[in-house]
Amino acid sequence: MESDRYDSAQNEMMAEKCILVDERDTVLGSDSKKNCHSMNGKLHRAFSVLLFNSRGEFLLQKRAGSKITFPSYWANACCSHPLYLDEEVNGGIGVKNAAIRKMEQELGVQNGILSPDDFELMTRMHYEARFNEKWIEREMDYILILKKDLEINPNPNEIEEVRFFDIESLDNFIKNAKKNGNKIGPWFKLINDNFLYEWWKSLDRVMESKNLEIHKFGRVE
Protein backbone atom coordinates (compact mmCIF):
# COMPACT_ATOMS: atom_id res chain seq x y z
CA MET A 1 0.00 0.00 0.00
CA GLU A 2 1.12 3.57 -0.71
CA SER A 3 0.49 4.55 2.94
CA ASP A 4 3.12 2.02 4.04
CA ARG A 5 5.81 4.30 2.56
CA TYR A 6 5.05 7.01 5.12
CA ASP A 7 5.66 7.41 8.84
CA SER A 8 2.75 5.83 10.75
CA ALA A 9 2.05 8.88 12.94
CA GLN A 10 2.11 11.25 9.96
CA ASN A 11 -0.07 8.87 7.95
CA GLU A 12 -2.62 8.67 10.77
CA MET A 13 -3.02 12.46 10.78
CA MET A 14 -3.95 12.36 7.09
CA ALA A 15 -7.43 11.23 8.21
CA GLU A 16 -8.04 14.45 10.17
CA LYS A 17 -10.88 16.61 8.84
CA CYS A 18 -9.75 19.97 7.47
CA ILE A 19 -12.07 22.94 6.92
CA LEU A 20 -12.96 23.50 3.27
CA VAL A 21 -13.48 27.14 2.24
CA ASP A 22 -14.03 29.19 -0.89
CA GLU A 23 -11.83 32.07 -2.04
CA ARG A 24 -13.68 34.43 0.32
CA ASP A 25 -12.98 32.10 3.27
CA THR A 26 -16.60 30.96 3.58
CA VAL A 27 -16.84 27.50 5.14
CA LEU A 28 -18.07 24.87 2.67
CA GLY A 29 -17.67 21.70 4.72
CA SER A 30 -14.82 19.32 5.46
CA ASP A 31 -12.60 16.68 3.93
CA SER A 32 -9.63 14.61 5.02
CA LYS A 33 -6.21 16.15 5.23
CA LYS A 34 -5.13 13.60 2.62
CA ASN A 35 -7.76 14.67 0.10
CA CYS A 36 -7.04 18.35 0.74
CA HIS A 37 -3.37 17.86 -0.11
CA SER A 38 -3.29 15.16 -2.78
CA MET A 39 -3.36 15.58 -6.56
CA ASN A 40 -5.07 18.95 -7.27
CA GLY A 41 -5.99 19.40 -3.61
CA LYS A 42 -8.86 21.37 -2.09
CA LEU A 43 -8.76 24.89 -0.64
CA HIS A 44 -8.80 24.67 3.15
CA ARG A 45 -7.94 26.74 6.21
CA ALA A 46 -4.47 26.71 7.68
CA PHE A 47 -2.49 28.82 10.13
CA SER A 48 1.10 29.97 10.58
CA VAL A 49 2.38 30.99 14.03
CA LEU A 50 5.24 33.52 14.13
CA LEU A 51 6.89 33.19 17.54
CA PHE A 52 9.04 35.94 19.06
CA ASN A 53 10.73 35.76 22.46
CA SER A 54 11.20 38.68 24.88
CA ARG A 55 14.53 39.55 23.21
CA GLY A 56 12.71 40.05 19.92
CA GLU A 57 14.21 36.93 18.37
CA PHE A 58 12.24 34.86 15.87
CA LEU A 59 11.92 31.06 15.92
CA LEU A 60 12.40 28.90 12.84
CA GLN A 61 11.78 25.17 12.84
CA LYS A 62 13.16 22.58 10.46
CA ARG A 63 10.37 20.18 9.63
CA ALA A 64 11.07 16.53 10.39
CA GLY A 65 12.25 14.27 7.61
CA SER A 66 9.22 12.06 8.35
CA LYS A 67 6.76 14.76 7.20
CA ILE A 68 4.80 13.71 4.10
CA THR A 69 4.89 17.17 2.52
CA PHE A 70 7.94 19.45 2.55
CA PRO A 71 10.10 17.25 4.83
CA SER A 72 13.28 18.90 6.16
CA TYR A 73 12.16 22.35 4.98
CA TRP A 74 12.63 25.37 7.25
CA ALA A 75 9.51 27.32 8.22
CA ASN A 76 7.95 29.38 11.01
CA ALA A 77 7.47 28.05 14.53
CA CYS A 78 4.21 26.21 13.89
CA CYS A 79 2.18 25.74 10.71
CA SER A 80 -0.83 23.45 10.55
CA HIS A 81 -4.63 23.33 10.14
CA PRO A 82 -7.68 24.03 12.25
CA LEU A 83 -9.93 20.98 12.17
CA TYR A 84 -13.64 20.67 11.46
CA LEU A 85 -14.49 20.77 15.17
CA ASP A 86 -16.82 23.11 17.06
CA GLU A 87 -13.91 24.74 18.88
CA GLU A 88 -11.81 25.27 15.72
CA VAL A 89 -14.20 26.05 12.87
CA ASN A 90 -15.15 29.58 13.94
CA GLY A 91 -12.76 31.93 12.15
CA GLY A 92 -10.05 33.64 14.16
CA ILE A 93 -10.87 32.16 17.57
CA GLY A 94 -11.04 28.69 16.05
CA VAL A 95 -7.64 29.11 14.44
CA LYS A 96 -6.16 30.30 17.75
CA ASN A 97 -7.57 27.22 19.51
CA ALA A 98 -6.01 25.06 16.80
CA ALA A 99 -2.68 26.83 17.24
CA ILE A 100 -2.70 26.07 20.98
CA ARG A 101 -3.38 22.40 20.25
CA LYS A 102 -0.56 22.16 17.71
CA MET A 103 1.97 24.17 19.75
CA GLU A 104 1.60 21.47 22.40
CA GLN A 105 1.73 18.59 19.91
CA GLU A 106 4.66 19.91 17.82
CA LEU A 107 6.72 22.10 20.15
CA GLY A 108 5.85 20.49 23.48
CA VAL A 109 4.40 23.68 24.98
CA GLN A 110 2.75 22.55 28.20
CA ASN A 111 -1.04 22.47 28.27
CA GLY A 112 -2.49 25.56 29.97
CA ILE A 113 0.45 27.85 29.19
CA LEU A 114 -1.18 29.47 26.15
CA SER A 115 -4.59 31.09 25.70
CA PRO A 116 -6.26 32.55 22.59
CA ASP A 117 -5.53 36.05 23.91
CA ASP A 118 -1.79 35.39 23.55
CA PHE A 119 -2.09 35.35 19.76
CA GLU A 120 -2.53 38.32 17.43
CA LEU A 121 -4.27 37.52 14.15
CA MET A 122 -2.50 39.71 11.60
CA THR A 123 -3.81 38.77 8.16
CA ARG A 124 -4.82 35.97 5.79
CA MET A 125 -3.23 34.77 2.59
CA HIS A 126 -4.45 32.45 -0.16
CA TYR A 127 -1.75 30.52 -1.99
CA GLU A 128 -0.96 27.24 -3.75
CA ALA A 129 2.37 25.41 -3.69
CA ARG A 130 3.05 22.03 -5.23
CA PHE A 131 5.50 19.73 -3.43
CA ASN A 132 5.55 17.04 -6.13
CA GLU A 133 3.19 15.37 -8.59
CA LYS A 134 1.28 13.76 -5.69
CA TRP A 135 1.07 16.46 -3.00
CA ILE A 136 0.05 20.12 -3.00
CA GLU A 137 -0.75 22.94 -0.58
CA ARG A 138 -3.93 24.94 -1.33
CA GLU A 139 -4.46 27.06 1.74
CA MET A 140 -6.27 30.00 3.26
CA ASP A 141 -3.53 30.71 5.75
CA TYR A 142 -4.25 32.72 8.93
CA ILE A 143 -1.04 34.38 10.12
CA LEU A 144 -0.69 34.68 13.90
CA ILE A 145 1.93 36.47 15.99
CA LEU A 146 2.84 35.09 19.42
CA LYS A 147 5.16 37.12 21.65
CA LYS A 148 6.12 34.93 24.60
CA ASP A 149 9.03 33.14 26.26
CA LEU A 150 8.21 29.44 26.11
CA GLU A 151 9.87 26.24 27.24
CA ILE A 152 10.12 24.28 24.00
CA ASN A 153 10.50 20.51 23.73
CA PRO A 154 10.14 19.69 20.03
CA ASN A 155 8.40 16.49 18.98
CA PRO A 156 11.01 14.69 16.81
CA ASN A 157 8.23 13.25 14.64
CA GLU A 158 7.34 16.83 13.68
CA ILE A 159 10.49 18.91 14.08
CA GLU A 160 14.12 18.15 13.36
CA GLU A 161 15.63 21.37 14.72
CA VAL A 162 14.70 24.82 16.06
CA ARG A 163 16.71 28.06 16.01
CA PHE A 164 16.15 31.62 17.17
CA PHE A 165 17.27 34.46 14.87
CA ASP A 166 17.61 38.21 15.08
CA ILE A 167 16.57 40.24 12.03
CA GLU A 168 20.01 40.37 10.42
CA SER A 169 20.83 36.70 10.94
CA LEU A 170 17.46 35.54 9.56
CA ASP A 171 17.85 37.76 6.51
CA ASN A 172 21.28 36.22 5.87
CA PHE A 173 19.96 32.70 6.47
CA ILE A 174 17.16 33.13 3.91
CA LYS A 175 19.35 34.84 1.31
CA ASN A 176 21.98 32.09 1.53
CA ALA A 177 19.61 29.16 2.02
CA LYS A 178 20.00 27.59 -1.41
CA LYS A 179 23.79 27.98 -1.39
CA ASN A 180 23.96 26.33 2.04
CA GLY A 181 21.59 23.48 1.18
CA ASN A 182 18.65 24.74 3.24
CA LYS A 183 15.11 24.53 1.84
CA ILE A 184 12.47 27.11 2.80
CA GLY A 185 8.76 26.28 3.00
CA PRO A 186 6.90 28.24 0.30
CA TRP A 187 4.29 29.61 2.72
CA PHE A 188 7.04 30.95 4.98
CA LYS A 189 8.86 32.45 2.01
CA LEU A 190 5.66 34.41 1.24
CA ILE A 191 5.43 35.57 4.86
CA ASN A 192 9.12 36.48 4.93
CA ASP A 193 8.99 38.40 1.65
CA ASN A 194 5.72 40.25 2.22
CA PHE A 195 5.00 40.74 5.92
CA LEU A 196 7.57 39.61 8.45
CA TYR A 197 10.09 42.43 8.57
CA GLU A 198 7.51 45.23 8.72
CA TRP A 199 5.88 43.53 11.71
CA TRP A 200 9.19 42.60 13.34
CA LYS A 201 10.46 46.18 13.31
CA SER A 202 7.38 47.39 15.20
CA LEU A 203 6.54 44.48 17.52
CA ASP A 204 5.48 46.80 20.36
CA ARG A 205 2.74 48.26 18.19
CA VAL A 206 2.30 45.42 15.73
CA MET A 207 -1.50 45.52 15.83
CA GLU A 208 -1.35 48.81 13.94
CA SER A 209 -0.37 46.68 10.94
CA LYS A 210 -3.25 44.22 11.29
CA ASN A 211 -5.12 43.76 8.01
CA LEU A 212 -7.55 40.86 7.66
CA GLU A 213 -8.12 41.25 3.95
CA ILE A 214 -7.20 38.12 1.99
CA HIS A 215 -3.89 38.49 0.18
CA LYS A 216 -4.06 36.40 -2.98
CA PHE A 217 -0.69 35.10 -4.15
CA GLY A 218 -1.83 32.33 -6.48
CA ARG A 219 0.62 29.51 -7.23
CA VAL A 220 4.13 29.88 -5.83
CA GLU A 221 7.30 27.80 -5.99
pLDDT of residue 13: 74
Mark whether 79 is an active-site residue.
yes
Domain boundaries of the chain, sorted by first residue: 2-220
Catalytic choice (18, 36, 78, 79)? 79
How far apart CA 89 and CA 214 sit, in angstroms, is: 18
Total residues found in the chain within this entry:
221
Catalytic choice (106, 137, 139, 160)? 139
pLDDT of residue 102: 97
Alpha-carbon distances, residue 209 vs 140, 183, 213 (angstroms): 19, 29, 12
Mark whether 139 is an active-site residue.
yes
* pLDDT values of the chain reduced to their tens digit, one per residue, 221 residues: 444 456 666 677 789 999 999 999 999 999 999 999 999 999 999 999 999 999 999 999 999 999 989 999 999 999 999 999 999 999 999 999 999 999 999 999 999 999 999 999 999 999 999 999 999 999 999 999 999 999 999 999 999 999 999 999 999 999 999 999 999 999 999 999 999 999 999 999 998 999 999 999 999 97
CATH number assigned to the domain with residue range 2-220, chosen from the 4 options 3.40.80.10, 3.90.79.10, 3.30.420.10, 3.90.180.10: 3.90.79.10
pLDDT of residue 5: 59
- Amino acid identity of residue 108, one-letter, is G
Alpha-carbon distances, residue 157 vs 17, 102, 103 (angstroms): 20, 13, 14
pLDDT of residue 14: 83
Segment (H or E) for 165: strand 159-165
Class of residue 177 by CB neighbours under 10 A (exposed 0-12, middle 13-18, buried 19+): middle
